[in-house]
Amino acid sequence: MKKFFKISLIFLSLFFSTCTLLSPVRNIVGTWKTTYPVKVYYETDYNNFTGTLELVAYEYWDIEMKISQTYSSNEVDIEWKYTRSGFTPLVDETGIVPEPSPIYLTGTINGTRIYLSKYDDPTFGELNYLTDLMEGFIDYLYTGIYSQRIYCNPNDLKFIKE
């Protein structure tokens, strides 16, 4: 019975160790840049304070992303630097609080997908990759005195590895 119990424990530990997130299929460590500036939208409830977000502005971000390895095989550290251009307000008072640059993110890897998280938001965005190209989106909501959402359309965010 002891032998069966030990074998069962070994089998279960092997089974559960294979149910974790997958390591990257390619080496993604390095510098990545957007192939063209991505259109980023801002929604806030600044003008109504009801929690109902309205589109108030958009602008373009040109992004450089530096991915560094961590001690975990399925997590990376990301430094996300961007320059802003073409800010276009759609209402008189936007209430937008610009994101700092750089933004420091954690990337959790599962096969060919990277889930981006920020210290105050576990769902900052997602990236997919197979080669030296990545594409994905950001969709980030935070609430302070009022709520603000920053996002781009799915797969509008395109990176190439340098």
Strands of the chain, DSSP E: 30-34, 38-44, 54-69, 75-89, 103-110, 113-118, 121-129, 133-143, 147-151, 157-161
Residue 124 CB burial class (10 angstroms; 0-12, 13-18, ≥19): buried
Q: How much of the chain, in percent, has pLDDT values that exceed 70?
A: 83
Residue 147 scores a pLDDT above 50: yes
**Spatial distance between the Cα atoms of 78 and 69, rounded to a whole number of angstroms:** 9
Question: Global pTM?
Answer: 0.81
Asked if 138 contacts 116 with a C-beta cutoff of 8 angstroms, the reply is: yes
First-to-last alpha carbon distance for the chain, in angstroms, is 58
Asked if 55 contacts 25 with a C-beta cutoff of 8 angstroms, the reply is: no
What is the rounded average pLDDT of the residues 88-109?
A: 93
Which has the closest alpha carbon to 114: 150, 88, 80? 80
pLDDT tens for 33-77 read 999 999 999 999 998 877 799 999 999 999 999 999 999 888 999
